Structure 1
Amino acid sequence: MASKVLLVFFLPLVLSLFFSGCAEAQGRLCVGYYSQTCPNAEAIISAEMRKTINSTPSLAGSLLRLHFHDCFVRGCDASVLLNSANGKVAEKDGVPNQSLRGYGVIDTVKAKLEKACPGVVSCADILALVARDVVVLSKGPYWQVPTGRRDGMVSIASETSQLPRPADGISQLIQNFADKGLSAQDLVVLSGAHTIGKSHCSSFSSRINSSDPRIDSNYAATLRMKCKPKHLTTLVQMDPGSFTTFDTGYYMQVSTSRGLFNSDAALLQNPQTRAYVLRQATGSASEFFKDFSDSIVKMGNIGVLTGAAGQIRKKCFAVN
C-alpha cells in the first residue's frame, strides 16, 4: 500500500518534470511539447479531423500530402501554407503544389487552437498532427508525434522543384530522398501513402497515353476512359477500391503493374524497394504500419525550426 501511495505522489511530479524539460528543449522535437502550454491541443485537432473525414473521406490523402510537400521544401516549417504576397510567389502557387487541397481545414484548426491557446501551437506542428490523425481515421496506424516545430517566414515557388515528381525514375527518387536524409526504405514506405486519396489526371496522363510496358494494358485503358483529353483536372483513385482505407492495397496495385504514377512503377526497378513492394503485397499490414510510423516521424524532423527560430503564426496563411 505504501508503495502505491508513493507512486501516486511522485508520478505527477515526474511527469511534470518530463514535460517541463520537453517544453524547454532547444533544437529538438519531443512528444508532449504542449502538455503544459496547450494541453488540449491534440484533442482539438483530433476532434476537427474526425468531423472533416466523416464528411469528406477523400480529404485524408490531401491533408497527408500537405505534410509531405511541406517537409520536402525548406523543411517542416509550414511554408507550404503561406499565401503569395507583395509580388512574391509562394510554394502553394508553384506548379507541383497547384493541385494541393485542404488549406481551409488547416485554417479552421488553427482558428480553434488560437481561441484555446493564443500564439502557442505552430502551423508546422498542426500539419504533422493532422497527418497522423487522418491516417488513424483511415484505419491506419497511430504514432506519437514529436512536436515543438516553429513556423518559417519564407516561401518561394521556385523551390518546389525539390519535390519528387510523379514522372521520376528510381535513381532520381532515391537521390531526392537522400538529399533530405531519407533512405530507399523511407522512399518505398512513404510511397505507401498513395493507398489513400486521389490524383489529377494531369499527373499521369502522358504515361497512359504512351506504350509504357510497365503499366497493365487493361488498367491503362480504364484510366484513359476516365481521363479524357483536356479533362486533366479529373480526379482518379490512387488505390482503386480502397482509396479511403489506409492499407497495403497500394503495394498490391504496384506489384501487378497497376501503379498510377511512373514513380510507383519505378519502385519495382530497384532490388530493395521491389522486395518491399512484393512483401507487403502478400503480407499483413503490421510491418508496413510500423515502418510507416517510423518513416513519417523521420520525415517530420527534416529542417525543423525550434527554439527562437521562426515564429508561431497567428494565421497559417500569413506571417505575423
Structure 2
Amino acid sequence: NLGHSYSLFLFVIPPVLANLQVDFYKSTCPQAESIVQQVVKNEFSRDPSITAAFLRMHFHDCFVRGCGASILIDSAKKNSSEKIASPNQTVRGYEVIDKAKKSLEDTCSTTVSCADIITLAARDAIALAGGPNYTVPTGRRDGLVSNPDDVNLPGPGISVSGALQFFKAKGIDLNEMVTLLGAHTVGFARCFFFSNRLSNFRGSGVPDPSMDPTLVAKLNKTCAPNVSATVFLDHNTFFSFDNKFYNQILLKRGILQLDQELALDNSTASTVSGFASNGIRFQNNFAKAMVKLGSIEVLVGKAGEIRNNCRVFNPAN
C-alpha cells in the first residue's frame, strides 16, 4: 500500500506494446519495481511536488527520441546533452533517479534500464498523490544519443491545434492529449510562462479576456514583483492527483494559455466537461494514456544499452 486509497485500473495492453512486458524483470530482478517504489515513496514524503517533476521528466524524455532516458545524460566537455535545451532547464528529480539506480545496481547489476526507472517512478508518484495505480509493461533499453538540437516540445502558449500536431506525431490522439494535460492537476509554472496573459495579451494592453479577472488580480500580486515566481496550475488541490484541474479551466481559471483553450476549443470542450464531472473516468483514461506515452519509440531487445550510470553512456568496448 502506497499510503493513499486508489483504484486499480486494469485494461488490455494494446498490441503496440507487444515488445514490452508486464513483470519483465520477474526472473532477472524480482525486486526491481519495489525498489523504485520505495525510493519514490521516501522522496514523496519529503517533497510531494516530486509527482509533477516525474511526470514532466517522463513526458520530456518520451517526446524526444522516444522513452530512452536520453534526458538523464549530463553534458560533457565535447558533447552537450538534452539537459541544456531550454525546455529542459527546469526539469528536476534527477538525483532521485540516481538513488533508485544505485539501489538497483547494488541488487541486480546492469539489469534495469534508466528508461524503465523513469516510467516506474512516474507511475508510483501518481499513485502516492492519490491517482490511479496501474500496471506498466517494462523492458525498455536506454538510448545512445542525447542531443539538445533534438528537443522540440510544445510551449504553454501554443494553440490546441498546434499542440495536437506534436502529439499526433507521437501517435497520441486528441482525447489522449487532453487526458495527459490533466497531469497539470499537480503541476506548477513560473510566471514568465504566462505573464503575457496578465497585462498585455497579444499586444492588446489588457489581460487575456478568457481568464477570470479575480485570478488575474491574484496572479499579478505574485508575478509582478518576480517573473520567476512559481504558481500552482490547480489552485485548490495542488498536490492531489484528481480531476479538479478540469473544473478550474471550465471556470476560466486556467493558468497556461493552452490549458484554458482546452475548455474553450470546440474539439476538446466536451472531453474537458466529461472529465470535470467524472473523476474515475479521468483517472482510468489517464492510466491508459500514460501506458501509451511510455511506449513511444522504445528500444527493446538488443537495441540501445542498460546504463551503469543514468547520467553517462556506458564506455565503448
Same-fold status (TM-score > 0.5): yes
Partner of 1:190: 180
CA displacement at 1:70 relative to structure 2: 0.4
In 2: Cα distance, 1:244 partner to 1:222 partner? 20
Whether 1:203 and 2:181 are equivalent positions in the alignment is no
Question: 1:226-265 maps to which residues of 2 (within 5 A)?
Answer: 226-229=222-225, 231-265=226-260
TM-score by length of 2: 0.89
* Consecutive unaligned residues in structure 2, runs of 5 or more: 1-16, 201-206
Secondary structure of 1:199's counterpart equals strand
Displacement of 1:113 in angstroms is 0.7
Aligned pairs for 1:54-73 (under 5 A) are: 54-73=45-64
2:278 to 262, 281, 284: 284
Task: Give the equivalent residue in structure 1 for 2:159.
Answer: 169
Q: What aligned pairs does 1:279-318 form with structure 2 within 5 A after superposition?
A: 279-281=274-276, 283-318=277-312
CA distance in 2, matches of 1:122, 1:186: 26
Residues 61, 197 of structure 1: 8 Å contact kept: yes
In the alignment, structure 1 residue 266 sits paired with structure 2 residue 261? yes
AA partner of residue 185 (structure 1): N
Tell which structure's C-alpha radius of gyration is larger.
Answer: 1
2:121 is equivalent to residue 130 of structure 1: yes
Q: Distance in 2 between matches of 1:284 and 1:110?
A: 37
Is 1:39 aligned to 2:30, yes or no?
A: yes
- 1:89 Cα deviation from its structure 2 partner: 2.0
User: Over residues 209-252 of structure 1, what are the superposed CA-to-partner deviations in whole Å (9 max), with x where a residue is unaligned?
Assistant: 322111111112211111134x2322211111211100011001
**Aligned residue for 1:178?**
168
Aligned length: 292
Shift of 1:181: 0.5
- Mean CA deviation greater in 220-229 or 89-98: 220-229
1:269 CA displacement? 3.9
Q: Which amino acid aligns with 2:208?
A: D
Matched residue SS, 2:133? coil
1:20-47, CA deviations, whole angstroms, 9 ceiling, x for partnerless residues?
Answer: xxxxxx9711101000000001101111
Q: Deviations over 1:139-196 (max 9, x none)?
A: 00011111000001111112212x1211100110111110110000111000000001
Structure 1 residue 50: deviation in Å?
A: 0.9
Q: Indicate whether 1:75 and 2:71 are aligned.
A: no
SS at match of 1:64: helix
1:48 is matched by which residue type in structure 2? V
SS at match of 1:271: coil
Normalising by structure 1, what TM-score? 0.88
Q: State how far apart, in whole Å, the 1-side matches of 2:272 and 2:105 are.
A: 42
Deviates more, 1:55-64 or 1:264-273: 264-273
Letter in 2 for 1:197: G
SS at match of 2:151: helix
Following the alignment from structure 1 to structure 2, what is the Cα–Cα distance between the partners of residues 223 and 92?
A: 29
Picking from 107, 110, 115, the partner of 2:101 is 110
How far, CA to CA, are the matches of 1:159 and 1:207 in structure 2?
A: 29
Q: Which residue of structure 2 aligns with residue 215 of structure 1? A: 211
Please state whether the residue corresponding to 1:232 is helix, strand or coil: coil
Task: For 2:134 and 2:100, locate their aligned partners in 1 and report how far apart those are by CA, in whole Å.
Answer: 20
Is the Cα contact below 8 Å between 1:185 and 1:272 reproduced in 2?
no
Are the aligned partners of 1:48 and 1:109 in contact in 2 as well (CA < 8 Å)?
yes
Distance 1:251 1:27, change over 3 A: closer
**SS of 1:294's equivalent?**
helix
Structure with a larger share of its residues in helix: 1
Ranges in structure 1 where 5+ consecutive residues have no aligned partner: 1-25
Output the CA distance in 1 between the equivalents of 2:94 and 2:262. Answer: 30
Residues 170 and 269, structure 1, Cα contact 8 Å, conserved in 2: no
Tell me the amino acid that sits aligned with residue 33 of structure 1: F
Please, what is the CA RMSD of the aligned residues?
1.4
